[in-house]
Amino acid sequence: MARRIAQFAAKLGLLLSAFRRGRGGDDNATTGRAKELLIMQPDAEGVRCVHLKRDRSGVRVRANSFHSAKDASSFLGRLTKKCLTVALLPKASYLLKFMEVPRVRADEIAEMISLEMEADLPNEFGQAEISYQRLPCEKEGCQRYEVYLCRRDDVLEFVRRLESMGIPPRMILPSAVAWRRLLEGERGVDMVAAETGRDGQLELAMLQPDRSLSVRTIDNVCREAPPDLPEGLIECVRSLLAQSDGSSEAIDVFWAGERCPPDNLGGRIRFRSEADSFGNVVFRGDGATGEYCMLRLAGSALLDADHATTLREANLIPRDLVVRRRRAAVRKVLGVAAVAAVAGLVCLQVALEVATRRWNGRIDEVSAQIASIRKEGEAIGRGIERLRAAREARLTRNDFHDLLAGLYQATPNGVTYSHVALDETGTIRLRGQAESMALPFLLPQELEKHPVFSQVLLKDAGQVKRPSGSVTEFQIEAAIRRQEGQ
């Protein structure tokens, strides 16, 4: 039973360890570079999700949209515990700003940026959530940051809608984080134009000459007159052409969505639309086209990002929400540990009671056996005493007869006995009288000659005067010699 309890405790420890590894998502999943990512975005009809998983042959893509937690359960059941869940915040929901601040310690950056950003906010904006990522800065003694700001209520509503589907995000990232990684990592692309989904909008992102990122949301409605492109897209292209200082090079636009436009403005705008690949990434699966293109493209940029630094700093999930999640996780672990401890104590108590009853029963059996053995032993002892008594009786049954016969045969004339005694040890004591002084000294020799007597010893002898004359009194001790076979 003790071995079973030890095995149960070991299994319980393994389960708790596995549970701690599984629930440590907010901390463990945000370290290193994830090879599996779920990127999602709520819209008016539900939540759109794209799952990307890297393997040796490329990136496997699965896409789906959910209208309820029941719809999402089967899709989410295929995710591993290492999968990073990210919610992509569209540009319409956040503000983008660049800041240069004096070089300070790393633990002071967040507070300094928050103070700078909140100072410029109007009172009606309400509480704000602020995140950032660091950019290279050529100015000595300064640090440059790309800062993201959004309303706290919008973020909480974003989280609430995703949690209602059973998909609590570990990160909420502005789309600018993904577009910067794409434009900096993909050579030959000056702009990204991504359809945001079912709302008929287009999100444009382009890098300025000073490496600052410009992100805009425009209506994806083409002009009736040539060029057949959205007005906002034309304005962005013209600003890029103006910054090219009269260069004849065309502007390359990566189009993420359906109905990729043809090259336009006399070849000054070249559109690329690769449904199956982007750079060195090969996509396989059912999420490479359609309304999921923006999520797939952003997910491919975030798939190998450094989660411990870049993504963690850009995460817009409120800190108090993270704290509540961690506390809830701790309470859950403590609850499971408490239940396991109570279950362990109950099992231990049951095991001890079973063992106690078993040993008590065994003790009763042994006590009964001991009592039986003691009783049998006492009976055997009594039998041995009876046998010993019978043996003694058998050995001594003829002693007195042999003694008297021997005295009669070995005693010379002139000797009489006044006292003859035989004890249980076989010792003979004789007292008597002899007519002459010499007879008591001859008597031991005569007795020794007889087979009944041994170790005959004259203890005392002396004359005693009487009215009829003097006589010699004597005392003799001897041992009886039992016959062979008695």
For 218-229, how does the pLDDT look when each residue is reduced to its tens digit (9 = 90+)? 887 665 555 567
Residues 165, 64, single domain; the answer is yes
How much of the chain, in percent, has pLDDT values that exceed 90?
A: 9
How many C-beta neighbours within 10 Å does residue 419 have?
9
Residue 485 lies in a domain: no
Residue 302 lies in a domain: yes
DSSP state of 173: E
Residues 6, 141, single domain; the answer is no
The two beta strands, 269-272 and 277-278, are unpaired
Q: Give the number of C-alpha atoms closer than 13 A to the C-alpha of residue 121, restricted to the C-beta side.
A: 19
Residues 176, 73, single domain; the answer is yes
Residues 283, 366, single domain; the answer is no
The two beta strands, 277-278 and 142-151, are unpaired
Residues 210, 333, single domain; the answer is no
Q: What are the CA-CA distances from residue 459 to residues 78, 407, 431, 444, 455 (Å)?
A: 117, 17, 10, 10, 12
Residue 162 lies in a domain: yes
Residues 380, 266, single domain; the answer is no
Residue 298 lies in a domain: yes
Measured CA to CA, the distance from residue 434 to residue 418 in angstroms comes to: 11
Q: What is the pLDDT of residue 169?
A: 87
The two beta strands, 142-151 and 191-195, are unpaired
Q: What are the CA-CA distances from residue 55 to residues 61, 283, 289, 297 (Å)?
A: 11, 11, 20, 17
In 175-280, the DSSP E strands lie at: 191-195, 201-207, 213-219, 251-256, 269-272, 277-278
What single letter denotes the amino acid at residue 133?
Answer: Q
Residue 95 has which token pair? 């503000």
Measured CA to CA, the distance from residue 208 to residue 46 in angstroms comes to: 35
Instruction: Give backbone dihedrals phi and psi of 91, rounded to 5 degrees, phi first.
Output: -60, -30
Measured CA to CA, the distance from residue 117 to residue 146 in angstroms comes to: 12
Q: What is the pLDDT of residue 292?
A: 82
DSSP state of 475: E
Q: Which of 415, 473, 425 is nearest to 445 (CA)?
A: 415
**Furthest CA-CA distance within the chain:** 186
Residue 131 lies in a domain: yes
**Contact in structure between 346 and 12 (CB atoms under 8 Å):** no
Instruction: Give backbone dihedrals phi and psi of 411, rounded to 5 degrees, phi first.
Output: -80, 125
Measured CA to CA, the distance from residue 452 to residue 484 in angstroms comes to: 11
CATH of the domain at 464: 3.30.1360.100
CA angle, corner 471, sides to 468 and 475, nearest 5?
A: 145
Residue that finishes a domain, picked among 317, 348, 372: 317
**Contact in structure between 7 and 20 (CB atoms under 8 Å):** no
* Residue 319 CB-density burial (10 A; 0-12 exposed, 13-18 middle, 19+ buried): exposed
Residues 209, 271, single domain; the answer is yes
Measured CA to CA, the distance from residue 12 to residue 340 in angstroms comes to: 7
Residues 238, 385, single domain; the answer is no
Residue that finishes a domain, picked among 264, 286, 317: 317
Segments forming the whole domain that contains residue 236:
31-317
DSSP state of 378: H
Q: What is the pLDDT of residue 246?
A: 56
Residue 486 lies in a domain: no
Residue 85 lies in a domain: yes
Residues 427, 473, single domain; the answer is yes
Which residues, in sequence order, are bridge partners of residue 42?
Answer: 47
Measured CA to CA, the distance from residue 95 to residue 215 in angstroms comes to: 9
Q: How many residues does the chain have?
A: 486
Q: What is the pLDDT of residue 22?
A: 39
**Contact in structure between 191 and 273 (CB atoms under 8 Å):** no
Q: Give me the number of domains the chain comprises.
A: 3
Residue 334 lies in a domain: yes
Q: What is the pLDDT of residue 373?
A: 92
How many C-beta neighbours within 10 Å does residue 429 have?
14
How many C-beta neighbours within 10 Å does residue 179 have?
25
Residues 241, 379, single domain; the answer is no
Number of H helices, E strands in the chain: 12, 19
pTM above 0.85, yes or no: no
Q: What is the phi-psi region of residue 159: left when phi exceeds 0, alpha when psi lies from -120 to 50, beta otherwise?
A: alpha
Show the low-confidence residues of the chain (pLDDT under 70). 1-33, 186-188, 198-199, 221-228, 244-248, 265-266, 274-290, 306-310, 392-397, 483-486
CA angle, corner 192, sides to 191 and 197, nearest 5?
A: 155
The dihedral over CA atoms of 224, 225, 231, 237, expressed in degrees to the nearest 10, equals: 140
Rg of the chain (C-alpha set): 57
Residues 337, 441, single domain; the answer is no
Q: What is the pLDDT of residue 261?
A: 78
Residue that finishes a domain, picked among 261, 295, 317: 317
**Contact in structure between 134 and 144 (CB atoms under 8 Å):** yes
Q: What is the pLDDT of residue 278?
A: 53
Residues 200, 268, single domain; the answer is yes
